[in-house]
Each structure stands twice: as structure tokens, then as C-alpha cells.
Amino acid sequence: MREINHFIDGKSFTGKTGRFGDIFNPNTGEVQARVQFADESELSRAVEGAKKGQRVWAAMNPQRRARVLMTYKTLVEAEMDELAHLLSTEHGKVIADSKGDIIRGLEVIEFACGVPHLMKGEYTESAGPGIDVYSMRQPLGVVAGISPFNFPAMIPMWFMGMALATGNAMVLKPSEKDPSVPVRLAELWMEAGLPEGVLQIVHGDKQAVDALLTHEDVKAVSFVGSSAIAHYIARTCTEQGKRFQAMGGAKNHGIIMPDADMDQVVNDFLGAAYGSAGERCMALPVAVPVGKDTANEFVSRMKDEAQKLRIGVSTDPDAHYGPVVTAAHKQRVEDYITLGVEEGADMLLDGRGFKLQGHENGFFIGPTLFDNVKPGMKTYEEEIFGPVLQVVRAGNLEEAAHLPSDHQYGNGVAIFTRNGLAAREFAAKVQVGMVGINVPIPVPVAYHSFGGWKRSAFTDTNQYGTEGIRFFTKIKTVTQRWPSGDIGDQAFVIPTMG
């Protein structure tokens, strides 16, 4: 059976703990590989190697580091098809979604190529008599990234692009559910010219995570995952005196106004609610139609169109979405569907028990649709993370806007309308970190930044963009004065070559 090793000091590293995790093929339900789990000693070895590599890497000027990033981007693009196939066979998302996963990560790498400009400091001449003041941004040293299973290419590249461009070394702990793509991405970094040790990949479970969080030489931690773990990481890093980004879960709402383009709305919800089997923190699992007529039309059309979705294996070019990542996650989502019925929501489509012919043991769930979901229901308050769309009816925009604002999560929200004033007022007042106006999944472009509010983000620094540059650097400010005196005419001679 294929075994996935750690990646330490520029090469594959075989662990000695004897602890492993199973890697499933979600399309068949079979175990296709196993991944090594590190202990504290192996994690410490990775950190030590990162410290050595970081000194070499940080000594390079920003332009040379940027050239490595440019080469890396080219190498990943050349291997797009192979990476997407590898990603799909471990995660389960269809090839088109896997390519999107990689492309969105590369956009952050592309942004980070501008690091010579992004790391420039500030300068004030004559801040006092003969005194100049200037500041500079410097790397933190060794930093850590902990990435989730649902974007095994994009989110590691969010971390890598920002951390490496700014001169840090990174120890990445990818998800143990689909770790092969992060390892291959690390190998491509070496081909691009990254010095040994600057990027280390260590696999594992909570034991490896805790070792990262408590290691004295790890100066900062960037995490994306569930809110419970994000909160744990925030608390632990605070106790350890570490800088942290801790992004959690979501329950994103889509407000549908009576004047919305219903063709666009239905099409957008099909992709945003059911795409990638709903395993996206920026999915749109809650529809909030305003007014009875709007709700009735949306529900009727959504039910008809969702039944036409093609569920298939991840390599099926005609499939709209594939399986979820593991049998345990499939059971979790189906338990939420059962709970939704018990709570009194109206089930219009039931995805439980879906079987794909020839792949009956795969982790597939059919599209599920609930109407008349109410705030307070557990299925509404919690993140389901599967192909389940819930409809919460609202009488007016004020009532609709309160739903995402009052919810425990505040990652993303969307409003569908032709009314510019209503959209403007909504965007200004809603208590959510990322807002889409006629855009169902408002993930910002790489030169802005990604971040939610409330239990969606236990941090005050967003991912990537200029926020990412700030997170992975520290400012040093120098106040200087040079003594006056007779230094002769030589000081004013223009130097010449020769």
C-alpha cells in the first residue's frame, strides 16, 4: 500500500512512530494509502531544519525570493492536470473544482511575487534636529500552517505564498485526510529553487498540532478549519505568546429580494450550495427569500433544478459534484438531515442513502432541500458542511438581514437584488466579514484579503493580501542621528567608477 511520508529538509522523510492514518478513495470507499503521524521529536526535527533554512532564505533579497515564487507558479501550472487528478482522488471533488482549488492558491502566489514592493518600510527625514526615522519589515522566523481537508491546494498556498515571500520558513501540517497534494507542492518548491528546510511538511493528528502550538521556536500559527479547533488554537497561542490567525466555520446566507433575477439566483445557488458537495466554508447553504411569492417561486424552481444535478465520481467530466471526503463525514451530514426532519423543517429533497451505480460503497450524498427552516433549529445554527440547502423565509429585508447578523458565524453573506440602494445599505450594516452583491461566493481576490467575523475567525488579521504581509512580518523602527563635525570636502565628492 502506498505510504505518504513527511517532507523534511528538502526530501521525503520516513517517520519512526509507527502511527498512521488511512487515506480513502471517496469514490469507492476503499483505503488507498496511509499517512505517517509525527510525534513531538519528529516535529522538533522539522523545526530545527526550518531554523537553519530560514537564515539562508531571509538573507536573500526580496527580488530573488520573488523569482523563486515566479518559477514555482510556472511549475505548478505545468503540472495542473496531474495535481488536480491527485487532489480529486483523495478529496472527492470533481476535476473542475480541483483545478479551481489550485488556481485560487496560485493567485496568492502571484500576488506574493510583488513582495519587494509590499515589504517596503517608511522614512521620515528630519523628524527632529538632524534626526531621521525609518521602519523596516522583517520576517518572524519559523512559522506554522495548519490546513483543512476541503482545500488541500489553495489554503496551503495561501500560507506558503505569504510566509515564504516575506522570508520566513514554514512547517505545514496539512489535513491527514488528503495530504498528497501538499507534499507534491513542497517538492515543486524545491524544483523552483527554495533552499532546503524552508518548507517542511509534517503529517499528524492533535499530537502534531499541539507540538507546533507549544514549540518555542514557532513564532506564529495560521489555521483554517472548524470553529472549535480555531478557538482552541487561539487560546493556546495566546497562552504561548504566539501570533495567530484562526479561521473557523460558517453558515452563509443568501438574501433573495423580490426584484432579483431568479434565473441567476437559482443557477448561483445550485453551484454555491451543492458544488464540491457543500464542503466549502464559503458555500451558500441558507437561502432567505423575502416575501411569500419570492419564496414559493425560488423553492419550486430550486427543487426542480436540484433534482437534475449529476452526482458522479470525481473524474466524471459531466458530474456537478462528487462524494464527500470520508464515511464518517457522510454519516455526520446524513445525521443532520435526519435531525432537520425531526426538528420540523419541510423536506423537499432527501439525499440520504444515495447510491451511485458501480460505486455503491462511495461516500455520496444526494442534493437535499429543506423549506420553512427556523432560527433556533440546531440544523440552522450549526455548520452541516454537505450538499444541504435550507430555506428560511423572511417577510422583509430588515427581517432577512437580521438572520446573518444575529448568527454565531459571520464568514460570508450574499444579497441578490437590482436595487442598488438596498444592496448598499445591506452591505454597510450586515454583521458579516465578506459580502457578495449578486455574487454567491464572495471570496476576495488575492490582493484584498479573506476573513470572517464572530465564530468564523478568532483573529484580527485576515488571510493573504496586505493583511498577510503584516501577519508574517514584524516592524523594526530606527531613529538615527549622525554627529556633525569637520569631515572635509571629501564628503561632497560625487563617486566615479574606476
Active site residues: 281
Q: What is the SS3 assignment for 376?
A: coil
- What is the C-alpha to C-alpha distance for residues 326 and 233, in angstroms, rounded to an integer? 24
Alpha carbons 193 and 201: distance in angstroms, whole number? 17
Contact 46, 202 (CB under 8 A): yes
Q: How far apart are CA 343 and CA 325, in angstroms?
A: 26
Distance CA 42, CA 66 (A): 30
**Cα torsion 325, 327, 333, 334: sign:** positive
> In the sheet that 388-391 helps form, which strands lie side by side, from edge to edge?
346-349, 368-371, 388-391, 286-289, 253-256, 412-416, 434-437
Q: Note every long-range contact of 261-265, with CB atoms under 8 Å and residues 24 or more positions apart, other chains counting.
A: 261/416, 261/418, 261/438, 262/297, 262/298, 262/301, 264/416, 264/438, 265/298, 265/416
Strands 388-391 and 434-437: unpaired
Cell of 368: 437535499
Amino acid in position 403: L
**Separation in Å, CA 149 to CA 129, 181, 182, 225:** 57, 11, 11, 8
C-alpha–C-alpha distance, residues 271 and 274, integer Å:
6
Please give the single-letter amino acid code of residue 351.
G
Closest CA relative to residue 76, chosen from 171, 160, 196: 160
| Whole-angstrom Cα Rg for the chain | 25
Question: 3-class DSSP state for residue 416?
Answer: strand
Write the CB contacts of 180 (distance below 8 Å, at least 6 apart in sequence): 4, 23, 33, 86, 90
Q: Amino acid letter at 322? A: G
Instruction: Walk across the sheet containing 169-173 and list its strands.
Output: 11-13, 6-8, 199-201, 169-173, 142-146, 218-224, 243-247
